[in-house]
Amino acid sequence: MSEIKRIPHCSHWGAYTLLVQDGSIVGVEPFAHDPAPSPIIHSVPEWANPKRQVPSPLVRAGWLEKREHSDRRKRGAEKFVPVSWDEATTLVADEIRRVSTTYGNASIFAGSYGWTNSGRLHHASSLLKRMLNLVGGFTRHVDTYSIAAGPVILRHTLGSSDACDGRANTLDTIAEHTETLVVFGALSPRTAQTEAGGIGVHRVESYLRKIADRGIRIVHVSPLKDDLPEWVDAEWWPIRPNTDAALMLGLAGEIVLAGRHARDFLDRCTSGADQLIAYLDGSADGIRKDATWAAEICGLDAESIRQLARRLVDTRSMLTVSWSLQRAHHGEQPFWSALGLASIIGQIGLPGGGVGYGYASLGGVGSPFNIGKSPAISQLTRPIDSFIPVARISDMLLNPGGTFTYEGKTHTYPDTRLVYWAGGNPYHHHQDLNRLAEAWTRPETIIVQDPMFTATAQRADIVLPATTSIERNDLAGNRRSDFVIAMKQAIAPVGESLPDFEIFNRIAAKLGVADGFNEGRDEMGWVRQLYEEVRQDAVERLGFEMPDFDTFWERGYARCPVRAEHTFLADFRTDPAAHPLNTESGRIVLGSRTLAGLGYDDCPPHPAWLEPAEWLGRGDASDLHLISHQPIGRLHSQIETGVASVAAKRNGREQAKLNPRDAAARGIDDGQTIRVWNGRGACLATATVTDSVRPGVLVLPTGAWFTPRDENGLEVAGNPNVLTLDIGTSQFGQGCSAHTCLVRAEAHIADQRDAFDEYQDKLVALATA
């Protein structure tokens, strides 16, 4: 036995040290500076499990024979043929050339949404775009599944998406100054485990402890009590899902009706406030938006709403709104309504006052933020500007040449012939997977690059096995983390996998653009270069010294320049004319001329309550509102078979939480296998009966590997996206509406076979066919 080596590394869920002996990982230790490391670090050794990885480049047999004329319905059902890297990269380069010559580059879809790994060099989708930009471009996506409706409406009404990107009031100021905190959605260490691009120090929990210690009044508005840790003393308001805009507007209406609205702030800092006020006081449509009105829609107590409205103006008050609220039909409205309410209260720009979005949705939101450059490889210049809103992927594939609207303009869907996905898992992330499966039969060729034999890879024509981050060198860092972290190679590549950079470099060579792609640098040359760009920017622009590359690489981390104690829009509040916002009026928009001109019924010119397509106010007694939130034990679908992920399952299945009242009405016992279904699909899960979930709501986390059983389409792993609704949030924002979904649930007795084993068996069988 040789000595144990200690290798610094990082993933989206934090930094850690891998203990490596004789080429194997024998232990994982948390980063010494991290007070709240994520248990997901202990799933990392599972990455090295050869049974989970794609063993070699693979081509679907039918595609190898007939290329673009193959039977596309055989995707996911036909065997794969292993090929050499040389053959695989030639096939890929030939396809890119064929499609771009015959149909034009817009027919190549490389939006390729996904979190990939935290490394900023081997960032799979960035490298894909970099390569394709050298050969004429591709159709891309805009916004993210995380936030789309939110930033679209905030860019229009606040002039930027800063307030939902981690640039609103920092949590240190809230812990110090706020007297009344209203949490819409969650403030949870569960989601704060992860941060896109890695995180050095998990701080959310310590801010929450400070807030809890100060004993301020906290109102927690969510269908799920666990969205705040139980040690935070909060009043739980179990709201009906998707009705928050009504509560916000009811609170605002109460303030207006009492004449307590901040007239000076509204006059100086907003535009169109009279339109909002006319809606609130009922002069516009005859309906007063008061506590009684809101209580009826939200399923809450009117008197408590009335009291809270008073308290919001009597004390220093802060509203936090989770990203989840805008991942719903009309998701623009809760974000805009919160801004409207905060403007009516009039404390925006004061320490500990106002509104902010996405606190704890990611680990870095609300923490001191990085003001330096964050490491990133350039995607180079786009030769064409063809795009879709990120979640309109099925619409695009099903409607070539059809039109869609986005931010008030009309665009056309391209005629997609080739899809190249690297570092994302649409069979995890997209809604209504049975609809996606139909859309997936449309393109002539689908290429998937991933270390794992995911549901998406299983449905590809060409699968390119990338190494996981622990099989190569890289660095982590982002705009919301105060550390840049070395991600050193810990083990040799598994099977025939290659680092993403190397895969694209080889394809670029076949396309004759290798020089432009690699700029003469190899892996370590690029890691050094990306670090140096960050270090130079910090010293030149901010006078902040970071260690030289060799010191950084040896030590494993470097600190970045950050801003703490930040109060959002403080300057603007003091002098709005000197600090105009990038909006139609230069101020906060509460009544929009642009939206009035557009006349959309699903995104009116002022914040409004609009009924979602599916919600408890319209369902019948057997309907449950599905909340498919983020899984506690993994990041989305990643390392689904790792220890942290498996620990969160029950009887090998995902847990579906529901209220005792609803369980009893359906004859469901705690721990029983249930079938959750609606007109779009059905899946299995294990029932966990708990009164921490509001009656009428069922919570099933995302991320189980999509495993439909062939005979009847029943999904056995517990993937909620067989149930969710695939519509845009509105014609304006076009975000995903994942949290708008009604389902039914019943005890499932027919088949007690363990789903977890079944779909893992299938996975291994496909990989070794």
Ligand X SMILES: Nc1nc2c(c(=O)[nH]1)N[C@H]1C(S)=C(S)[C@@H](COP(=O)(O)OP(=O)(O)OC[C@H]3O[C@@H](n4cnc5c(=O)[nH]c(N)nc54)[C@H](O)[C@@H]3O)O[C@H]1N2
Active-site residues, by number, are: 113, 115
Q: Does residue number 227 form part of the binding site for ligand X (CB under 6 A)?
A: yes
Order of strands, edge to edge, in the sheet holding 235-237?
Answer: 235-237, 217-221, 180-184, 317-321, 354-357
Cα dihedral sign, 235-239-243-247:
negative
Furthest-apart CA pair in the chain: how many Å? 81
Q: Which residues contact 493 (CB under 8 A, 6 or more apart)?
A: 467, 471, 472, 499
What's at 493, amino acid-wise? P
Look up residue 77 and give its two tokens: 């059902």
Name the residue nearer to ligand X (CB basis): 397 or 546: 397
Q: Which of 549, 423, 553, 550 is nearest to 488 (CA)?
A: 553
Shortest separation between residue 204's beta carbon and ligand X, angstroms? 11
In terms of C-beta density within 10 A (0-12 exposed, 13-18 middle, 19 or more buried), how is residue 511 classed? buried
Q: Does residue number 271 form part of the binding site for Mo ion (CB under 5 A)?
A: no
Name the residue nearer to Mo ion (CB basis): 146 or 686: 146
By CB under 6 A, what part of segment 207-226 binds ligand X? 221-224
Q: Is 8 helix (H, G, I), strand (E, B) or coil?
A: strand
Name the residue nearer to ligand X (CB basis): 444 or 614: 614
Q: Is 221 helix (H, G, I), strand (E, B) or coil?
A: strand
Q: By CB under 5 A, which span of 83-91, 119-127, 141-149, 732-740 interacts with Mo ion?
A: 141-149
Name the residue nearer to Mo ion (CB basis): 191 or 445: 191
| 3-state helix, strand and coil shares in percent for the chain, rounded to the nearest 5 | 35, 20, 45
Q: Does residue number 194 form part of the binding site for Mo ion (CB under 5 A)?
A: no
Which residue in the set 184, 265, 335, 504 belongs to the binding site for ligand X (CB under 6 A)?
Answer: 184
Q: Could you tell me where the beta strands, DSSP code E, fall in 226-383?
A: 235-237, 270-271, 317-321, 354-357, 369-370
Q: Which does 140 bind (CB under 5 to 8 A by kind): ligand X, Mo ion, none?
A: none
Shortest separation between residue 753's beta carbon and ligand X, angstroms? 25
Q: Does residue number 194 form part of the binding site for ligand X (CB under 6 A)?
A: yes
Q: What whole-number distance in Å separates Cα of residue 352 and Cα of residue 568? A: 9
Q: By CB under 6 A, which span of 16-24, 576-584, 600-608, 621-629 interacts with ligand X?
A: 621-629
Name the residue nearer to Mo ion (CB basis): 146 or 734: 146
Residue 688, beta-bridge partner list: 657
Which residue in the set 635, 683, 722, 727 belongs to the binding site for ligand X (CB under 6 A)?
Answer: 635
Q: By CB under 6 A, which span of 132-140, 184-192, 519-527, 566-574 interacts with ligand X?
A: 184-192
Which x/- pattern, by CB under 6 A, does the window 455-484 give for ligand X?
-----------x-xx---------------
Q: Does residue number 642 form part of the binding site for ligand X (CB under 6 A)?
A: no
Cα dihedral sign, 155-158-160-165:
negative
Name the residue nearer to ligand X (CB basis): 688 or 724: 724
Q: Does residue number 333 form part of the binding site for ligand X (CB under 6 A)?
A: no
Name the residue nearer to ligand X (CB basis): 277 or 626: 626
Q: Which does 393 bind (CB under 5 to 8 A by kind): ligand X, Mo ion, none?
A: none
Shortest separation between residue 470's beta carbon and Mo ion, angstroms? 23
Q: Does residue number 469 form part of the binding site for Mo ion (CB under 5 A)?
A: no
Shortest separation between residue 287's beta carbon and ligand X, angstroms? 22
Q: By CB under 6 A, which span of 235-243, 403-411, 489-497, 534-542 interacts with ligand X?
A: 235-243
- Residue given tokens 């794609």 in the structure block: 54
By CB under 6 A, what part of segment 116-145 binds ligand X? 116-117, 122, 124, 145
Q: What whole-number distance in Å separates Cα of residue 6 and Cα of residue 748? A: 48
Name the residue nearer to Mo ion (CB basis): 195 or 332: 195
Name the residue nearer to ligand X (CB basis): 121 or 269: 121
Q: Which does 244 bind (CB under 5 to 8 A by kind): ligand X, Mo ion, none?
A: ligand X
Q: Which of 62, 80, 76 is nearest to 710 (CA)?
A: 76
Shortest separation between residue 707's beta carbon and ligand X, angstroms? 15
Which residue in the set 70, 117, 126, 146 belongs to the binding site for Mo ion (CB under 5 A)?
Answer: 146
Which helix (H) or strand (E) element contains residue 655? strand 655-658
Question: How many positions of this chain bind ligand X (CB under 6 A)?
Answer: 63
Residue 650, beta-bridge partner list: 653
Shortest separation between residue 739's beta carbon and ligand X, angstroms? 4
In terms of C-beta density within 10 A (0-12 exposed, 13-18 middle, 19 or more buried), how is residue 155 classed? middle
- Residue given tokens 């979190």 in the structure block: 115
Query: How many Å separate Cα 193 from the centre of its chain?
Result: 13
Which helix (H) or strand (E) element contains residue 647? helix 643-647
Listing DSSP states for 134-199 in one string gives TTT--EEEES-SSSSHHHHHHHHHHSSSGGGTT-SS-HHHHHHH-SEEEEES---HHHHT--TT--
Q: Which does 423 bind (CB under 5 to 8 A by kind): ligand X, Mo ion, none?
A: ligand X
Q: Residue numbers of the site for ligand X (CB under 6 A)?
A: 114-117, 122, 124, 145-146, 184-186, 190-191, 193-194, 221-224, 227, 239, 241-242, 244, 322-325, 327-328, 361-362, 422-425, 428-429, 449-452, 454, 466, 468-469, 500, 627-632, 635-638, 702, 720-721, 724, 738-739
Q: Residue numbers of the site for Mo ion (CB under 5 A)?
A: 146
